[in-house]
Amino acid sequence: MTDNNIDPHLQSGLYGVPQLHPDEQRKYLGTFRERVSLAMTINEVTAADNMTGFEKELVAHPDYRVLLNGMIDQDSLAPYITLAHQHNVNFTLTSNSEDPAGTEIMGLVIATEKTAINEPVIAINEKYPIVKSEPQQSKKSFFENLFD
């Protein structure tokens, strides 16, 4: 064997197989940003008020898959797994032990398998904002307005 044939083999043995955008893949639970349709942070996954946006995305894209961060408590992930199962959407629990807690890694990602979709807005709080109803002010009666 010549030196040129051995060098790439030795390089991959020493340093591992080169990856394309490893930080991006780590952040989006093993997939690329261009494949992501919806992303939720760990705090958004543990909050219960994001379930409707998650379900809307599952209904809109039943052929996508759900990637769940395996480092999150199973009690927090259970409702998302149940909804994915009810809508017949594949899901995968991923965990990367080299990532410390508290980094920018997502808690849940809905993405395509191989196709790039380049969705401009993927954050759940921007794509499906939570509408909080304001308490209606009670209308004063005629006599209250008259004597006020």
The CATH topology of domain 20-127 is: 60s Ribosomal Protein L30; Chain: A; (3.30.1330)
pLDDT at 138 over 90: no
**Residue found under tokens 């009666």:** 141
Least confident of 75-79, 113-117, 139-143: 139-143
- The whole-number pLDDT of residue 2 equals 55
29 burial type by CB count under 10 A (0-12 exposed, 13-18 middle, 19+ buried): buried
What are the strands, taking DSSP E only, across the chain? 36-40, 65-69, 90-94, 108-111
The alpha carbon dihedral of 12, 17, 22, 27 has a sign of negative
Residues 72-91 pLDDT 10s: 999 999 999 999 999 999 99
What's the pLDDT score for residue 13? 78
Residue in 54, 45, 48 with CA at minimum distance from that of residue 77:
45
What pLDDT is recorded for position 16? 79
- Return d(Cα 8, Cα 3) in angstroms, integer: 9
pLDDT in tens, 17-73: 888 898 899 899 999 999 999 999 999 999 889 999 999 999 999 999 999 999 999
pLDDT for res 94: 93
Helix 51-60 crosses helix 74-86 at what angle (to 10 degrees)? 30
Is the predicted pLDDT of residue 127 greater than 70, yes or no?
yes
Which of 48-57, 89-98, 139-148: highest mean pLDDT?
48-57
Residue scoring higher pLDDT (2 or 85): 85
Residue 97 confidence (pLDDT) above 80: no
| pTM score | 0.78
| pLDDT, position 148 | 62
User: Is the per-residue pLDDT at 128 higher than 70?
Assistant: yes
β-sheet bridge partners, residue 67: 92, 109
Distance CA 117, CA 36 (A): 7
Q: Where are the domains of the chain?
A: 20-127
